[in-house]
Structure 1
Amino acid sequence: MNIYLKNLNRVVALGGGHGLGRVMSSLSYLGSKLTGIVVTSDNGGSSGRIRQSEGGIAWGDLRNCLNQLITKHNAISNIFNYRFKGTGDLSGHNLGNLLLKALDNFSIRPLEAVNIIRALFKIKSFLIPMTEKAVDLVAIDKNDVLVYGETAIDVLQSPPKYLKLYPDVSPTIEGLKSINEADLILIGPGSFYTSLIPILLIKEIALSLKNTTAVVVFIDNLSNEISLAASSLTIFEKVLIMEKYIGEKIIDVLIVTPNVNIKGVENRLIIKDFLEDVNIPYNHDIFLLKKALDKVIKLKILN
């Protein structure tokens, strides 16, 4: 199993949160051949509170991915994932987020903070923030009203007309290099507007994706999102929106559940399968996802 994936030199996954974490966990056996480029524009929860008081990037999605790549859990990893309870100032904060921010303050750049944690837990795969500059997601809603920040965009009742990053930021150079070297690029699963689209809004990343020779795969969610705006989108509309921001028709393969309406995308390679983890509802099973991606390589790259 998974004999085809092992033949690739560089696999790059784009996204954030639990979705990207599952993809990284599924393919972690690829070691240094695997790179995750992680969204850093979250302004909610523990990450948002740290950003409000200390500035910088959002650490939550990076911390989540690091957690899912830890193969040997011990006292140190449990401390890294500890979330404070109670009603005090620390309530709701994840210690991993605070640790990453503290390392960022000691380090020259955020990527170094991530690499220190990778070294601590012996994680071979790379995790790279989409940018090392503070940035927020901004939307124009259906009434041409400016909506600022991911938490506000998540509660929109209908799809926004337009999304952008504020301010304009440059990508992490290492992340851009990994895209340019990729054989396989994975987008998703994850919150469509707030975990997937922000990475595509960085001009240099969009340009690299536009010019890539890699096979590009969109992995759809297993269930409707909590966000009403995102949950109303068909698979065709999601592909259309992503490719509008990239500026090119680049998505070669869609991995979806068997009940998804594929009208409008029939000309792409469609992998339809039951991929849900029976123990973690609405999350991809890491072994079934690995099998589906191996099928993609067999059908799309080696044929």
Structure 2
Amino acid sequence: MRNRTLSDLDRVVALGGGHGLGRVLSSLSFLGSRLTGIVTTTDNGGSTGRIRRSEGGIAWGDLRNCLNQLITEPSVASAMFEYRFGGNGELSGHNLGNLMLKALDHLSVRPLEAINLIRNLLKVEAQLIPMSEQPLDLMAIDAEGHTIYGEVNVDQLKTPPKELMLYPRAHATREAALAIAEADLIVIGPGSFYTSLMPILLLEELTQALRRTPASMVYIDNLGRELSGAAASLSLREKIATMEHYIGKPVLDALIVGPRTEVKDIDDKRVIQTALEAQDIPYRHDRQLLRQALEQVIRPPG
């Protein structure tokens, strides 16, 4: 029997946020509509945070970032979507893509439908699903027992939090749980550990789906040191333990890591350790090298 390749898979699902998820999705964009990204929606910084503070709603920034990285046909529509206002006025620093998504939200279009409308406008085939369609914030209990509210503040913790949670309690997007249930391969990471990856693992419907899915599951580690002191202090083993603690069972089959990552205490997962750095930005994953590493994951070892 010939080895399977990524092209043979019917459903690949990637979880995360920010630039990391965008890189994974763009490296797998050849899968077209067979690729789904489940995107973190708890950001409260930058343009996204300003929109949330004044208008409410979910965080659109990571969804916009993923759409940007999936655009294959530059157009007037894509240039508009990526446009960021300069100057010193009220619009300064705002991204037009965020404002477009928020405008659709104001028109009472369901967030998932708003994304689908923009996907069609930008000719993006891969599906993108917000982790929840309800406005949520990340919360943490720090080492001293204090409650830390909001993603920006959690990112500033110097030591790992005792506990993570979402506020208020909310449901995952139904289509996200369904995508996990139907997946052949699930990819988590890379991305800011506490603020891009962990929020998705705090929604019960998604962790339940991750416990039940028969899909192979792979974690892609970061290449650069995290800016968050708390996340930077974690070993690879500690990251895996944290993720599997919140999921509720050991689910990760394989890990993709760069050549400098310490892996000697990992003996219960398959480890693909290889060069992954992009030539232009060393702490970002090269799309082609990432795809090759993911091809190795679905090939039987040996």
Give the TM-score, by structure 1 length: 0.97
In structure 2, what is the equivalent of residue 145 of structure 1?
146
Q: What is aligned with 2:117?
A: 116
Q: Are 2:278 and 1:282 equivalent residues in the alignment?
A: no
Q: CA deviation at 1:299?
A: 2.1
Partner of 2:230: 229
Q: Are 1:275 and 1:285, in contact at CA under 8 Å, matched by a contact in 2?
A: yes
Give structure 2 stretches of 5+ with no counterpart: none
How many residue pairs are counted as aligned between the two chains?
A: 300
Q: Which runs of 4+ in 1 moved over 3 A?
A: none
* 2:77 aligned partner: 76
Q: 1:91-111 CA deviation, whole Å, 9 max, x = no partner?
A: 111010001100111243101
CA distance in 1, matches of 2:268, 2:221: 17
CA drift of 1:262 comes to 1.4
For the 8 Å contact 1:215–1:252, the answer to whether it is kept is yes
- Give the percent of matched residue pairs that are identical in Structure 1 and Structure 2: 59
Letter in 2 for 1:74: S
1:155-174 to 2 correspondence within 5 Å? 155-174=156-175
Letter matched to residue 252 of structure 1: D
Q: Does 2:128 correspond to 1:127?
A: yes
SS at match of 1:299: coil
1:85 equivalent to 2:54? Answer no
- Match in the other structure for 1:53: 54
Per the alignment, in what secondary structure is the counterpart of residue 144 of structure 1? coil
The answer to which of 84-93 and 183-192 deviates more is: 84-93
Q: Pairwise CA RMSD of aligned residues?
A: 1.3
2:177 aligns with 176
Paired residue for 1:5?
A: 6
- In structure 2, what is the Cα distance between the partners aligned to 1:281 and 1:72? 26
Question: Following the alignment from structure 1 to structure 2, what is the Cα–Cα distance between the partners of residues 8 and 199?
Answer: 23
1:23 and 1:250 map into 2 onto residues whose CA distance is 20
Q: Is the 8 A contact 2:200 2:206 kept in 1?
A: yes
After superposing the two structures, state which structure 1 stretch, 67-76 or 28-37, moved more.
67-76
Displacement after TM superposition at 1:265 (Å): 1.8
What letter matches 2:145 in structure 1? D
Distance 1:296 1:285 in 2: 17
Amino acid aligned to 2:65: N
- The equivalent of 2:262 in structure 1 is 261
Partner of 2:17: 16
Q: Do 1:104 and 1:112's aligned partners in 2 also have CA atoms closer than 8 Å?
A: no
Cα distance in 2 for partners of 1:212, 1:242 equals 16
SS of match in other structure, 1:277: coil
Structure 1 residue 264: Cα displacement: 3.1
Residues 180-191 of structure 1 correspond to what in structure 2 (within 5 A)? 180-191=181-192
Letter in structure 2 aligned against 1:195: S
Gaps of 5+ in 1: none
The equivalent residue for 2:66 is 65
Secondary structure at 2:80 match in 1: helix
Deviation at 1:3, TM superposition (A): 6.5
**Any idea what SS the aligned residue of 2:282 has?**
strand
Shift of 1:223: 1.0
Deviation, 1:267, is: 2.0
Residue type of the partner of 1:37? I
